Amino acid sequence: DAGVTQSPTHLIKTRGQHVTLRCSPISGHKSVSWYQQVLGQGPQFIFQYYEKEERGRGNFPDRFSARQFPNYSSELNVNALLLGDSALYLCASSKKDNEQFFGPGTRLTVL
């Protein structure tokens, strides 16, 4: 079975731009979570979606938003990019309340 997939793998943007990151969960998993991992730190929780509904939100500004589609894939959107948004963005999928399996991540660089 395919694991969690994310696209793109790498992305370079400039300050003020908008970015959309995509995630496809493992087949049969209905929950998707997003994490931001800044260099040298552990991943920080951004959002969790289950059955297309937001189930949790971390301490991130409103510039960050996400949604989940009927096929359980998900998008993370970040508006008005700042230099500090440069990070590895990880998507994880899980069955409800089970362990999370992570994708390879999207490395975002903001110049």
Q: Footprint of another protein on this chain (CB under 8 A)?
A: 31, 33, 35, 40-45, 48, 50, 55-56, 58, 88, 90, 92, 94, 97, 99-105, 107
CA distance 64 to 45: 12
Q: Residue 66 Cβ, how far from another protein at the closest point, in Å?
A: 14
User: How many C-beta neighbours within 10 Å does residue 10 have?
Assistant: 9
Q: Residue 56 Cβ, how far from another protein at the closest point, in Å?
A: 4
Q: What is the DSSP letter of 23?
A: E
Q: Residue 5 Cβ, how far from another protein at the closest point, in Å?
A: 11
CA distance 100 to 95: 8
Q: Residue 40 Cβ, how far from another protein at the closest point, in Å?
A: 8
Tell me, letter by letter, the H, E, C secondary structure of 45-68.
EEEEEECCEEEEECCCCCCEEEEE
